[in-house]
């Protein structure tokens, strides 16, 4: 099994420790993992801003970088969902085949569904509140969306339960948006901040020390509010907890 590790641009630029933890974890789990050095942004910011044509060259480059791998794995539910759901349509305009959409996984999804890991070596003796990002929840199905009225499940909670010492908590309105939403946070900044404040209030009410989730973008948005308002909670990407001690 050969895996290409995709590290989204904001993770690479702002949270490189998340990329490092992803590599360490996959390597520990016996995966033959490679990092294509010429990878770039997947094109999501351009497409979300209404400039889809500018995302097409990035989608083509993505295919060129990752076509040779059995799986593509990334620590970002949002970017994975964009490649899976939007790249085929972008590349169809160019009559270019899209092979990556069928083999790309968020790292939690990959570990849970493909590797089916049953144990992890780490220890994280802290209370953590799980944040469900919208893309991860409703496009990748990392957890059950409440509006579907189906039995509850959470792949992130399943994986966290394998780490010694962690106490897993969930906020009220467990799948409510944090307000980030990419361009939404820029175009509707005031609404975005209010949504983030409401979400953080619910996370803090759990008594958690940390908020964790599969998207650094959501965590970054909420952390900005927490830092400005000096609120008593910290943030950590779920893969950093899963890779604790490696």
Pairing of strands 71-74, 104-106: parallel
2-115 and 127-242 in the same fold: yes
Tokens of 157: 């909670």
Would you kindly state where each structural domain of the chain is located, as residue ranges? Answer: 2-115, 127-242
pTM: 0.95
- Maximal CA-CA distance, the chain: 52
Return the CATH class of domain 127-242: alpha beta
Domain 2-115 has CATH 3.40.50: yes
CA 63 vs CA 134, 136, 137, 144, 233: distances in Å: 25, 22, 25, 30, 39
Q: Of 111, 110, 124, 117, nearest to 244 (Cα)? A: 124
Q: Give me the tens of pLDDT residue by residue for the chain, a chain 246 residues long.
A: 999 999 999 899 999 999 999 999 999 999 999 999 999 999 999 998 999 999 999 999 999 999 999 999 999 999 999 999 999 999 998 888 899 999 999 999 999 999 999 999 999 999 999 999 999 999 999 999 999 999 999 999 999 999 999 999 999 999 999 999 888 888 999 999 999 999 999 999 999 999 999 999 999 999 999 999 999 999 999 999 999 999
Residues 6+ apart with CB under 8 A from 200: 211, 222, 225, 226, 231, 233
3-state SS of 29-59?
CCCEEECCCCCCCCCHHHHHCCCHHHHHHHH
């Amino acid at each position: 099994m050969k895996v290409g590790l995709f590290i989204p641009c904001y993770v690479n630029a702002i949270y490189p420790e998340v990329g490092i933890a992803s590599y360490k974890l996959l390597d520990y789990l016996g995966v033959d993992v490679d990092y294509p050095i010429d990878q770039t942004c997947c094109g999501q910011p351009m497409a979300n801003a209404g400039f889809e044509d500018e995302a097409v060259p990035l989608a083509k480059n993505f295919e060129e970088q990752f076509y040779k791998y059995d799986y593509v794995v990334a620590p970002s539910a949002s970017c994975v969902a964009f490649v899976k759901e939007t790249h085929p349509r972008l590349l169809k305009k160019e009559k270019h085949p899209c092979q990556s959409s069928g083999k790309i996984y968020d790292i939690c999804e990959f570990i849970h569904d493909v590797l089916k890991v049953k144990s992890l070596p780490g220890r994280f003796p802290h209370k953590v509140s799980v944040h469900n990002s919208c893309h991860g929840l409703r496009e990748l199905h990392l957890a059950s969306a409440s509006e579907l009225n189906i039995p509850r499940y959470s792949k992130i909670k399943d994986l966290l339960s394998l780490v010694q010492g962690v106490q897993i908590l969930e906020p009220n309105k467990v799948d409510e948006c944090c307000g980030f939403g990419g361009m939404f946070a820029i175009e509707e900044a005031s609404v975005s901040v209010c949504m983030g404040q409401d979400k953080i209030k619910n996370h803090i009410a759990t008594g958690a020390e940390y908020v964790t989730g599969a998207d650094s973008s959501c965590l970054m948005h909420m952390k900005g509010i927490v830092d400005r308002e000096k609120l008593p909670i910290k943030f950590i990407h779920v893969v950093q907890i899963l890779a604790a001690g490696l």
